[in-house]
Amino acid sequence: MLKEKQENEREQREAAETSVKDLQERNAELRKDLAELRKSNAMQHERMDLLDKRVTELQRERENLIDTRAELKAQLAAMAEREAAITRRAERAEEEKQAAAKEGKEQERRATQLETEVKMLREQLGKTESPPKKASRGGNKS
């Protein structure tokens, strides 16, 4: 029975040693997995930090683009207003030009009318003065 007991103890000891060895191997594997997970976690944190920075950078860029867009819209509005003002001035100038041309034509017509009237008056004056002028001319000839 002592032999049997020793045999049992030896088997239990061997089983315990095997179990301890298995547990140690498992523990080593788990530590290795834990180290890999920590490394992976650190890499993910780095990646998240880089992504956060990129998101912040893109948000700033977006805000700058929005500001630039607003500035460009304001410039376009100002340019459109200037263009409208120039167009209004050009239209007024064209109207004034046409009015001046019309006035010039009217003045020309009036001048022609006055010239015609002057000619007619001179002709009338010449007809009434012509016979005495001929007589006076004749008087000068003698």
Number of domains in the chain: 1
User: What pLDDT does residue 125 have?
Assistant: 82
pLDDT band, residue 140 (cuts 50/70/90): very low
* Residue 14 within a domain: yes
* Residue 112 within a domain: no
* Residue 138 within a domain: no
User: What pLDDT does residue 137 have?
Assistant: 47
- Work out the mean pLDDT of the chain and round it to a whole number: 89
* Residue 81 within a domain: yes
* Residue 74 within a domain: yes
Question: Residue by residue, what is the 3-state secondary structure of the chain?
Answer: CHHHHHHHHHHHHHHHHHHHHHHHHHHHHHHHHHHHHHHHHHHHHHHHHHHHHHHHHHHHHHHHHHHHHHHHHHHHHHHHHHHHHHHHHHHHHHHHHHHHHHHHHHHHHHHHHHHHHHHHHHHHHHHHHHHHHHHHHHHHHC
* Residue 140 within a domain: no
Range of the domain at 66: 10-106
* Residue 119 within a domain: no
User: What pLDDT does residue 131 have?
Assistant: 56
Evaluate if pTM is beyond 0.85.
no
* Residue 49 within a domain: yes
